Amino acid sequence: MYGFSKFYSKFYKYPLPLLLLSLWLVAVFLLSDRPAHSQHPVISTNKEKYQSTLLAKRIMPSTLTENVRKTVLENGLTVLTKEVHTAPVVTVQVWYKVGSRNEEPGVNGIAHQLEHMMFKGTKNRPIQFGRLFSALGSDSNAFTSYDQTAYYGTVERNKLKALLVLEADRMRNSQIEPEQLASEKRVVISELQGYENSPEYRLNRAVMQAVFPNHAYGLPVGGTKADVEKFEVEQVEKYYRNFYSPDNAVLVIVGDFQTANTLETIKEVFGKLPRQEAGGRGQELFLPHLHHSALNTQHGLNAPLPLTALNTQPSTLP
């Protein structure tokens, strides 16, 4: 602010010289890009830049999936690890293979509702998990989409195990209490009412309903106010027990860690969690009356938020 005031006083005192200087600089800048002896300077320059860009894309290797190691524990948990030592931090993500595609009218939005409840505490830690994440200095959140529900957080590398312990705890021991469910139902309904103010959201919902009239993909990810109001503790608990287990999850760790030591920690923390019993889970759990279309594509991985995913953290968290 001080620098701007100083410049303004100079301009006020010497307006004409500074104006001429500014015009000269603009002229130099505009003319400096023109190549000599070119009848089409703009086209020629853009073509050269375009060719350079394409060449860079051809010779530059993709590093996103390089050095990713996949490990599957005995209980079915899939673990993806990638060391990146550019900063002393680690990101942890837990992806559950469940979303609004596992719902039907009457229980639409239960996956998103459960996402909210996963921040309310466990039997071992009956405290809002937002406070625990904050104590770790973690930037944590979650989102629900058509095919998956994901939880993610970033911490200092020396707090990696503590973050893994919290994620393992709520994978198995989350509590669904009537009072907390009633509170979070109000939060979810408020979110849905807020999304109704977005023309983009309403257009996306109308398109999905038209494309998938007889499939759960046509249901709104966040559910409807009428369905959310009717959720009971037993429904949410059943959904949690059915889909939140290691054999239905993918754990992703990226950052400044040593793979061998971290895998031992993962086996210690997550390896003791039981997998879902045989026949206990089915994609048709909430779809007995819907006719499945032949399309079987993933709809939540690359879609923009918030239209195809609700990126939310309960408002009651600090």
- Check residue 127 and give its pLDDT: 94
Catalytic site residues?
115
Q: What is the pLDDT of residue 311?
A: 43
| CATH node for 69-311 | 3.30.830.10
* Average pLDDT, integer, range 261-265: 98
DSSP string, 168-210: HHHHH-B---HHHHHHHHHHHHHHHHHHTT-HHHHHHHHHHHH
42-51, 185-194, 201-210: lowest mean pLDDT where?
Answer: 42-51
Task: State the DSSP string of 263-296.
Answer: HHHHHHHHTTSPPPPTT---TTTT-TTPPPPS--
Task: Quote the percentage of the chain above a pLDDT of 70.
Answer: 68
pLDDT score of 41 more than 90: no
Specify the pLDDT at position 157: 97
- Whether 180 shows a pLDDT value over 50: the answer reads yes
Residue 33 has pLDDT above 60, yes or no: no
17 or 151, which is more confident: 151
- Give the pLDDT confidence of 121-130 residue by residue, as tens digits: 999 999 999 9
Ordered by start, the domain boundaries in the chain are 2-28+40-59, 69-311
Looking at residue 123, its pLDDT comes to: 94
pTM: 0.72
What mean pLDDT comes out for the span 154-177?
97
